[in-house]
């Protein structure tokens, strides 16, 4: 029996543990209600008298060793937890802070704004829910004008005078009503058209329209401004203007930029022509100026409008316009370092 107890003392002395659970199991084994020490103390009465003294000493030694061991293990464990503190393990490698990114439409919009602000254009905004006057009538599109069908309109059912703007030209009307020439403003914003949703078109998209009104503004000024824009935006200075029709401008033109045919993508993007259509433009129709309270005998102006989505698709080689509004993080996070 003495030998057995001495073995336990040696075992206790070398015991180590790293968790609370292990320490507790150890404590119960030796010091618990039904622990070994209880058993050994109970044996005491059976020990012959001449051995009682030595037996008592050895059992006591086992008791103090076991108690000291439990205390020291607990202390060691607590102090190692304390050193981690509220920050946990300080030696762990840092976690990377994920930064968000601007939406590709925003990136293109900001670049366009920046380019025009360098030549004195300010930014104007207006409501997405418009009335007939600002979206159509003031822009030389009176009721029953066939050109209203050029843009399929979402009407707010209960009131035919209230609609979702089909272009940001409505903002230009508002701007002219409230500001005197000289006017140099660009109007970015979301517009709505009742079109079938596909990879190429959506029922809402984004535009930037520009307006310049002053004395003696000519078509040459328009052309020069557009050329400045395409050079800054795309690094391409060769443009061409094809005659076109818009009710609010006269004459009107469609603007193509020469993209080139150097790569296969150029070829695909331009359908083998090298030319890319990027916007509509023209000299503001005198009727529009008059509708907005500007004397068309004194002032003239030009206007232009382009789709931001289309440009963002082109610049980033995105195959489907619907990706812009799906909010798929895998798509969006690709634009972290763009533009």
d(CA 223, CA 229): 10
Map residues 203-242 to x or -, x wherever contact with ligand PHE holds by CB under 6 A: ------x---------------------------------
**Complex with ligand PHE: residue 58 or 176, whichever CB lies closer:** 176
Compute the CA torsion angle 106, 112, 118, 124 (nearest 10 deg): -70
Q: State the minimum distance, in angstroms, from the CB of residue 307 to ligand PHE.
A: 8
Task: Report CA-CA distances (Å) from 223 to 213, 239, 275, 316.
Answer: 15, 9, 17, 26
Residue 193: cis peptide before it, omega within 30 degrees of 0: no
Q: State the minimum distance, in angstroms, from the CB of residue 251 to ligand PHE.
A: 11
Closest by Cα among 209, 232, 233 to 311: 233
What string of DSSP letters covers 112-178?
HHHHHHTTT-EE----SEEEHHHHTGGGT--TT-GGGGGSPPPEETTEEEEEE-SSTHHHHHHHHHH
Which residue is closest to ligand PHE by CB? 305
The stretch near ligand PHE (CB under 6 A) out of 28-36, 53-61, 297-305, 315-323 is 297-305
Residue of the chain from 12, 281, 288, 289 that contacts ligand PHE (CB under 6 A): 281
**Per CB under 6 A, does 301 bind ligand PHE?**
no
Q: State the minimum distance, in angstroms, from the CB of residue 191 to ligand PHE.
A: 7
Q: State the minimum distance, in angstroms, from the CB of residue 86 to ligand PHE.
A: 57
**Per CB under 6 A, does 300 bind ligand PHE?**
no
- Rg (C-alpha) for the chain, rounded Å, is 41
Residue of the chain from 26, 55, 192, 246 that contacts ligand PHE (CB under 6 A): 246
Closest by Cα among 188, 184, 275, 286 to 234: 275
Applying the rule CB under 6 A, the residues between 133 and 192 that interact with ligand PHE are: 167, 169
**Per CB under 6 A, does 104 bind ligand PHE?**
no
Applying the rule CB under 6 A, the residues between 11 and 70 that interact with ligand PHE are: none
Residue reference for tokens 């020439």: 181
Q: State the minimum distance, in angstroms, from the CB of residue 166 to ligand PHE.
A: 7
**Per CB under 6 A, does 280 bind ligand PHE?**
yes
Residue of the chain from 304, 311, 321, 324 that contacts ligand PHE (CB under 6 A): 304
The stretch near ligand PHE (CB under 6 A) out of 30-38, 51-59, 152-160, 279-287 is 279-287
The stretch near ligand PHE (CB under 6 A) out of 14-22, 111-119, 125-133, 299-307 is 299-307
d(CA 257, CA 246): 20
Residue of the chain from 108, 278, 303, 321 that contacts ligand PHE (CB under 6 A): 303
Task: Please tell me whether 232 is known to bind a ligand.
Answer: no
Task: Report CA-CA distances (Å) from 339 to 42, 89, 117, 215, 281.
Answer: 85, 39, 17, 36, 26
Angle ∠(24,28,33) on CA atoms, nearest 5 = 140
Q: State the minimum distance, in angstroms, from the CB of residue 139 to ligand PHE.
A: 8
Closest by Cα among 29, 40, 41 to 67: 29
Q: State the minimum distance, in angstroms, from the CB of residue 323 to ligand PHE.
A: 22
**Complex with ligand PHE: residue 65 or 170, whichever CB lies closer:** 170
Residue positions counted in the chain: 339
Residue of the chain from 153, 187, 225, 249 that contacts ligand PHE (CB under 6 A): 249
d(CA 256, CA 242): 8
- End-to-end alpha-carbon separation of the chain, Å? 84
* Feature table: binding site for Mg(2+): 250
The residues of the shown chain that bind ligand PHE, judged by CB under 6 A, are: 167, 169, 209, 246, 249, 280-282, 303-305
């Amino acid at each position: 029996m003495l030998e057995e107890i001495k073995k336990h003392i040696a075992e206790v002395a070398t015991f180590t543990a790293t968790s609370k659970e292990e320490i507790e199991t150890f404590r119960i084994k030796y010091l618990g209600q039904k622990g070994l020490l209880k058993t050994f103390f109970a044996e005491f009465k059976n020990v012959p008298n001449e051995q009682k003294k030595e037996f008592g000493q050895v059992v006591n030694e086992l008791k103090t060793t076991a108690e000291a061991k439990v205390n020291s293990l607990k202390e060691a464990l607590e102090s190692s937890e304390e050193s981690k503190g509220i920050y946990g393990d300080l030696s762990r490698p840092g976690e990377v802070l994920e930064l968000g990114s601007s939406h590709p439409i925003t990136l293109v919009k900001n670049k366009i704004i920046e380019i025009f602000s360098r030549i004195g254009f300010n930014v104007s905004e207006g409501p997405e829910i418009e009335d007939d006057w600002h979206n159509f009538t003031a822009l030389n599109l009176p009721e029953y004008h066939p050109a209203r069908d050029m843009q399929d309109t979402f009407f707010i059912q209960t009131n035919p005078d209230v609609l979702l703007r089909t272009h940001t030209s409505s903002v230009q009307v508002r701007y002219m009503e409230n500001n005197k020439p000289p006017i140099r403003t660009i109007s970015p914003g979301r517009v709505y058209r009742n079109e079938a949703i596909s990879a190429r078109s959506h029922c809402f998209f984004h535009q930037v329209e520009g307006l310049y009104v002053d004395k003696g503004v000519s078509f040459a000024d328009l052309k020069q401004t557009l050329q400045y824009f395409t050079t800054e935006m795309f690094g391409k200075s060769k443009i061409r203007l094809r005659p076109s029709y818009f009710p609010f401008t006269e004459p009107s033109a469609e603007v193509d930029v020469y993209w080139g045919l150097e790569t296969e993508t150029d070829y695909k993007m331009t359908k083998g022509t090298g030319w890319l259509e990027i916007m509509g433009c023209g000299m503001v129709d005198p009727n529009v100026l008059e509708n907005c309270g500007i004397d068309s005998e004194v002032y003239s102006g030009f206007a232009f409008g382009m789709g931001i989505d289309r440009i963002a698709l082109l610049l980033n080689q995105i195959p489907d316009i619907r990706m812009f509004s799906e909010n798929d993080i895998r798509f969006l996070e690709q634009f972290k370092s763009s533009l």
